[in-house]
């Protein structure tokens, strides 16, 4: 199985314009995500997919791989679908499993990607797999930057929202509370199908890509992870993430400048 990581990135993000090039420990965030994706043994290669020349030029300048995609895409998954075709054309190899790695996850652990890919390979009950993490604070549960997910008893997604679900107004006792992480594995057919499916009302209302799959009756298998990461949603998150990554064991394993192939 040929497994490729795709990192969608654009400068015009609504909630934090210019976010992919925000620097953490002197390096743009999107570059951190790229190197960390390649450190996962299950990932054969990684490509940044962008509509911005600034991101493209930077990735090529550090020896990374990137492709230019349409500026019309509103969803990271649509951008990745275009990139799959471009990468296949450029490399002459079919992408069997396309792994979306959001560019605002600079603390992604390689092992997280390995678990995601291994489950997608071995499980076979769905075409799309997504990592989730337990929500630990009330602040996170109430934040519109956190995409919450409710599950059925087989760990399939029922619905995803930026609202606090399940309801804390109706139930104050213990309840499982999960957040979606921006690490999603699609079979080749699933990502191509995604791009062909019409955008859906709940996808648009919630601003959550994978609601399109649920509204079209597709199965989305969720995989819990105990790894704790901090995404960058606002400029105020940068100092926290930088402090955590200053002690991170993976940063020293990045290729030395000018040595990447």
78-109: pLDDT as tens digits: 999 999 999 999 999 999 999 999 988 999 99
Q: What is the DSSP letter of 153?
A: T
Q: Which H or E element spans position 70?
A: none
The distance between the two most distant Cα atoms of the chain, rounded to a whole number of Å, is 56
Residue 258, pLDDT above cutoff 80? no
d(CA 56, CA 64): 9
The three-state DSSP-derived secondary structure of 85-138 is HHHHHHHCCCCCEEEEECCCCCCCCHHHHHHHHHHHHHCCCCCEEEEEEECCCH
Overall average pLDDT of the 180-198 stretch: 96
Strand-pair category, 66-68 with 157-161: unpaired
Provide the pLDDT for residue 3.
98
Query: What domains, with CATH codes, occur in the chain?
Result: 3-131+180-221+240-253 (3.90.550.10)
d(CA 223, CA 138): 22
For helices 110-122 and 29-38, give the axis angle rounded to 10 degrees: 50
For helices 53-61 and 29-38, give the axis angle rounded to 10 degrees: 50
Q: How confident is the model at residue 193 (pLDDT cuts 50, 70, 90)?
A: very high
Overall average pLDDT of the 232-250 stretch: 93
Q: Is the pTM of this model over 0.85?
A: yes
Both tokens of residue 184?
């999603």
Q: What percent of the chain has pLDDT over 90?
A: 85
Cite the beta strand spans of 20-90 per DSSP E.
23-24, 27-28, 45-50, 66-68
């Amino acid at each position: 199985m040929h497994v490729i990581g795709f990192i969608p990135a654009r400068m015009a993000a609504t909630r934090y314009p210019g976010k992919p090039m925000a620097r953490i420990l002197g390096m743009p965030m999107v570059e951190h995500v790229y190197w960390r994706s390649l450190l996962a043994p299950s990932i054969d290669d990684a490509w940044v997919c962008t509509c911005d020349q600034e991101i493209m030029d930077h990735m090529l300048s550090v020896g990374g791989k990137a492709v230019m995609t349409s500026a019309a895409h509103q969803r990271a998954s649509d951008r990745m679908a275009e990139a799959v075709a471009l990468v296949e054309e450029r490399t002459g190899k079919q992408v069997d499993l396309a792994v979306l790695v959001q560019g605002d996850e600079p603390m992604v652990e390689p092992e997280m990607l390995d678990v995601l890919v291994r489950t997608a390979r071995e499980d076979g009950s769905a075409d799309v797999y997504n990592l989730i993490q337990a929500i630990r604070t009330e602040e996170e549960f109430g934040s519109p930057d956190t995409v919450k997910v409710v599950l059925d008893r087989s760990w399939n997604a029922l619905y995803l929202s930026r609202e606090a679900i399940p309801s804390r107004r109706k139930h104050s006792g213990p309840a499982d509370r999960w957040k979606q992480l921006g690490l999603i594995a699609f079979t080749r057919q699933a990502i191509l199908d995604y791009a062909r499916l019409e955008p859906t009302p709940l996808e648009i209302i919630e601003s959550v890509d994978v609601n399109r799959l649920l509204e079209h009756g597709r199965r989305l298998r969720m995989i819990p992870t105990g790894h704790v990461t901090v995404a960058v949603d606002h400029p105020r998150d940068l100092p926290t993430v930088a402090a955590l990554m200053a002690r991170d064991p993976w940063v020293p394993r990045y290729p030395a400048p000018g040595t990447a192939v």
